[in-house]
Amino acid sequence: MMSEWTIGVIGGSGLYAIEGLDDVQEIAIESPFGAPSSSVIIGYIHGVKFVFLPRHGAGHAIPPSEVNARANIDVLKRAGCTDILAISAIGSLREELPPGKFVIVDQFIDRTHLRPSSFFGTGMVAHVSMADPVCPRLSHLAEAASREAGAATHRGGTYLAMEGPQFSSRAESHMYRNWGADVIGMTAMPEAKLAREAELPYALVGMVTDYDCWREGEDAVEVEAVIAQMGANAEKARQLVINLAKNLPQSRSACPIDNCLDFALITAPEARDPQTLAKLDAVAGRVLSK
């Protein structure tokens, strides 16, 4: 029996090679928001449909500021995803979150500034709530799957999304700690915002690769060390996805995020731009067709 869930997984290379992925297909899906990072890999694990999308493309060719998050989320919506699990490498801003720790993020501070952060705009304005930016149900399931995979797992944490591609200065790292941020990365925003606009419940598992540069006597962050820790984390991340598939309830009950656009659209029907509406056919078609 097939599950009612279709889980989109946004992550690094290698996740599509999970052992036990059945009926694998690679499909190129076009988006009106431009080119996504990659074709999607679709397959089944324990009867659950998964749609995998490498955030940085094949061979990690796309830098953070140039990841087309709008196209990526739009494509996952077009592929029929019901929920999105993001898996990301992160730096730690807390002593108790050492390299190798998996953090189930529940809040964000967005410091990005070069990236389109909404599907909506002139001709169709909408405002969604980001007070609680992740799905608690999916986050709980991801936490359980992470612990079952043998990963040291921490539930909850604030993710500071920086623009990059450079790593932080020491002054910035200390400032982010004072703001209450726990981990730092370059890709979760505007990804999480766009998932909310597309009515896709979103959870983020951050895999700590390094302490940021705030620690006294700590070497500056170097890519070589980050890559080495990413490799050590990768097998647990793959097992996490398998565990998630195994543990999902057979029946997917409704989530409030599924209908979050019901009270978000503000542009009067007569003022809506047809060209803008046409681009929103996947992410907002449910409410725009009413």
Q: Is the peptide bond before 136 cis (omega within 30 degrees of 0)?
A: no
Q: What is the pLDDT of residues 24-43, one digit of tens each?
A: 999 999 999 999 999 999 99
Question: With bands split at pLDDT 50, 70 and 90, how would you rate the model's confidence at 227?
Answer: confident
Q: What is the pLDDT of residues 107-118, one digit of tens each?
A: 999 999 999 999
Annotated active-site residue 110? The verdict is no
Mean pLDDT taken over the chain: 93
Is 104 within 8 Å of 149 (Cβ atoms)?
no
3-state secondary structure (DSSP) of residue 242: helix
> How many other CB atoms sit within 10 Å of the CB of residue 274?
8
Selected catalytic residue, list 106, 210, 262, 281: 210
Sequence ranges of the domains in the chain: 6-288
Q: What is the pLDDT of residues 168-192, one digit of tens each?
A: 999 999 999 999 999 999 999 999 9
Question: With bands split at pLDDT 50, 70 and 90, how would you rate the model's confidence at 232?
Answer: confident
Q: What is the pLDDT of residues 38-66, one digit of tens each?
A: 999 999 999 999 999 999 998 889 999 99
Q: How many whole angstroms separate alpha carbon 163 and alpha carbon 112?
A: 4
Class level of CATH domain 6-288:
alpha beta
Selected catalytic residue, list 83, 106, 182, 212: 212
Annotated active-site residue 262? The verdict is no
Q: What is the pLDDT of residues 149-164, one digit of tens each?
A: 999 999 999 999 999 9
